[in-house]
Amino acid sequence: MSLICSLSNEVPEHPVLSPVSGCIYEKRLIIKYLHESPTDPINGQPLTEEQLIDVKVTPLSKPKPPSATSIPAILKMLQDEWDACMLHSFTLRQQLQTARQELSHVMYQHDAACRVIARLNKEVTAAREALATLKPQAGISQTVPIQHPHEQAAQVPHHVAAGISGDNTQISASTAEGMNDEIIQKLQDKASVLTQLRKQRGKRVPEGLASIDDMRNFRCSATHTALHSASNPGILALDISPKNSSIILTGGNDRQAVVFNKDSEQVIATLKGHQKKVTHVIHHFEEDIAITGSSDSSIRVWHIPSAQCLKVLKAHDNAITGLSLHPTGDYVLSSANDTYWALSDLRTGKLITKVQDTTSQRGLTCAQFHPDGIIFGIGTQESLIKIWDLKECNNVADFPGHAGSINAIAFSENGYYLATAAEDASIKLWDLRKLKNFKTITLDDRYEVRDLVFDQSGMYLGVAGTDVRVYQAKQWDLLKVFNDHTALATGIRFGLNANYLASSSMDRSLKFYQQLSQE
């Protein structure tokens, strides 16, 4: 009986047995193999040299092949082996060259595919922007016929069209005219009327106001992400028309402001003209006018139906950080990083007064009128909230206590409370009658607040930042937290009678929350 090596298929000189697979190997060959891979070559199971079992057999003498019986025959056999090696080497070089060519072709195809994908992504982004631009054009074309420039200007209200230049934009002068007696009397008369109305409204809860249980049942009812450009995402500002709560105004990182109809889900107008991001937006109380503030240091006044910029107010030399409309609807308060606050006439575009906060070294962060319009609040980067008297242009009170730059302030509708937020992850409530802090809402560590707002009744306080949340005023209990945004929330507003809630975010979305019908 002869044994055959499982590796060489020849009769082994020193046969050994593998206890793992039961196969016979030439000892010399299997030891070399185990030095490279300590496994059985047949079944791949672990095998060591010590496990090999020597097989004792009668030694056999190999007969010499007939062709190796002479020196010429041996030389010929070696020559044949050499030729075979050279042919095999040539074949391997050919295969290597073919593999290199195939690899080069595949890499070229991959590079071309990446270029095509990048081009398609760019085309998709451009198509989305074009679609967002076509929506307002489609909406306007249904209601406003094509007109000549002078005819279109005739439709703009006279008090906002006065002084419009040839390109329908008037840039105001930066020289302050000062607070005259006529303006002061106008402010005082409006404050007296508003005070009486507020006292009457404070005696009863508005009819149709969303209850606390309704607020707790609010859910995200709609999301819109195509209002602003996808190439420079982020909605930075939000406002709702007080006259028609279905009209939403947003300002974006794409240097545009968008007017959106919540009910028809259609863009009404896209307001283009700012050179940098739009950080603040206000919808006029009664008229189809939008006011926008930007990091380009300008404030623009727009006629919404025609999407025309009526005036450019240049009251500051630095980025606009706060914007508020006076209850008369005629004056705009603004603050900026240049440490100045300014009051401008919305109708004439003239700068009425401009005052520097000499105690603020690093700039102002926000500005908000009191509901009566006689005083207003200013936030600073030095952690102070300052109350100013508009008629006298004097700083009448300071509210210290925060740590970090002031991010947002909001007056309650009844005029008694002021809510403030800073970079210290807290919301402070101030009593304006006693000029002191009576409540501090401590938020989670590293919680960011970007916007605060009271609803029209003063019953609810909305907070936008790391999430969107609603508190019950007076008790200051947390009613609802919304975590639907995937990035920082930048704006929050209540609809009429708090029947719905709107929020904007850096995730490019505008979201609406309300009590769903099935609930």
Give the model confidence (pLDDT) of 154-208 as tens digits.
344 444 433 333 345 555 545 777 888 888 888 898 888 888 887 766 667 778 8
Predicted model pTM: 0.67
| pLDDT greater than 80 at residue 141 | no
Give the model confidence (pLDDT) of 67-91 as tens digits.
667 888 888 888 989 988 998 998 8
Residue 45: pLDDT band by 50, 70, 90 thresholds?
Answer: very high
Structure confidence at residue 62 (pLDDT) = 63
Query: Hey, where are the domains in the chain?
Result: 1-59, 181-514
Write phi, then psi, for 331 (nearest 5 degrees): -130, 145
Residue 58: pLDDT band by 50, 70, 90 thresholds?
Answer: confident
CATH architecture assigned to 1-59: 2-Layer Sandwich (3.30)
H-helix or E-strand spanning residue 127: helix 71-141
Structure confidence at residue 144 (pLDDT) = 36
Tell me the pLDDT of the chain averaged across its residues: 86
Percent of the chain with pLDDT over 90: 60
What is the spatial distance between Cα 299 and Cα 304, in angstroms, rounded to a whole number?
15
How many helices (H) and strands (E) the chain has is answered by: 6, 32
SS (H, E, C) 318-377: CCEEEEEECCCCCEEEEEECCCEEEEEECCCCCEEEEEECCCCCCCEEEEEECCCCCEEE
What is the spatial distance between Cα 494 and Cα 239, in angstroms, rounded to a whole number?
9
Contact present, 510 and 223 (Cβ < 8 Å): yes
Structure confidence at residue 392 (pLDDT) = 87
Tokens of 37: 């891979």
Structure confidence at residue 250 (pLDDT) = 96
Residue 142: pLDDT band by 50, 70, 90 thresholds?
Answer: very low
What is the spatial distance between Cα 136 and Cα 126, in angstroms, rounded to a whole number?
16
Residue 149: pLDDT band by 50, 70, 90 thresholds?
Answer: very low
Structure confidence at residue 172 (pLDDT) = 53
What is the spatial distance between Cα 126 and Cα 225, in angstroms, rounded to a whole number?
15
Give the model confidence (pLDDT) of 492-517 as tens digits.
999 998 999 999 999 999 999 998 86
Q: Which DSSP letter does residue 61 get? A: P
- For 15, 281, 310, 376, 513, the CA distances from 332, given in Å and listed in that order, are 102, 12, 15, 12, 30
- For 19, 217, 329, 478, 504, the CA distances from 52, given in Å and listed in that order, are 7, 77, 100, 77, 75
Contact present, 51 and 45 (Cβ < 8 Å): no
| pLDDT greater than 70 at residue 338 | yes
What is the spatial distance between Cα 479 and Cα 462, in angstroms, rounded to a whole number?
10
Neighbours of 326 (CB within 10 A): 20
Residue 294: pLDDT band by 50, 70, 90 thresholds?
Answer: very high
| pLDDT greater than 90 at residue 326 | yes
- For 2, 14, 50, 54, 165, the CA distances from 57, given in Å and listed in that order, are 9, 9, 20, 10, 114
Structure confidence at residue 231 (pLDDT) = 81
Structure confidence at residue 69 (pLDDT) = 73
Greater model confidence, 131 or 519: 131
Q: Residue 136: CA atoms inside 13 Å, Cβ hemisphere, count?
A: 21
Residue 277: pLDDT band by 50, 70, 90 thresholds?
Answer: very high
Residue 454: pLDDT band by 50, 70, 90 thresholds?
Answer: very high
Residue whose pair of structure tokens reads 């914007």 in the numeric block:
323
Give the model confidence (pLDDT) of 96-126 as tens digits.
999 999 999 999 999 999 999 999 998 998 8
Residue 331: pLDDT band by 50, 70, 90 thresholds?
Answer: very high
The class of domain 181-514 in CATH terms is mainly beta
What is the spatial distance between Cα 70 and Cα 76, in angstroms, rounded to a whole number?
10
Structure confidence at residue 158 (pLDDT) = 42
Structure confidence at residue 1 (pLDDT) = 60
| pLDDT greater than 80 at residue 151 | no
**Minimum mean pLDDT range among 168-177, 266-275, 382-391, 480-489:** 168-177
* Cα-based torsion angle of the residue sequence 208, 214, 220, 223 in order, rounded to the nearest 10 degrees: 0
| pLDDT greater than 60 at residue 143 | no
Greater model confidence, 31 or 63: 31
Strands annotated E in 202-272:
218-224, 235-240, 247-252, 256-261, 266-272
**Minimum mean pLDDT range among 168-172, 223-227, 255-259, 379-383:** 168-172
Greater model confidence, 233 or 31: 31
β-strand partners of 355? 341
Q: Which of 354, 296, 31, 420 is nearest to 173 (CA)?
A: 354
Structure confidence at residue 133 (pLDDT) = 65
Q: What mean pLDDT do residues 350-365 have?
A: 88
Structure confidence at residue 135 (pLDDT) = 54
User: What does 268-295 look like in DSSP terms, one character per residue?
Assistant: EEEEE--SS-EEEEEE-SSSSEEEEEET
Q: Which DSSP letter does residue 497 get? A: G
Structure confidence at residue 119 (pLDDT) = 92
Greater model confidence, 63 or 337: 337
β-strand partners of 477? 472
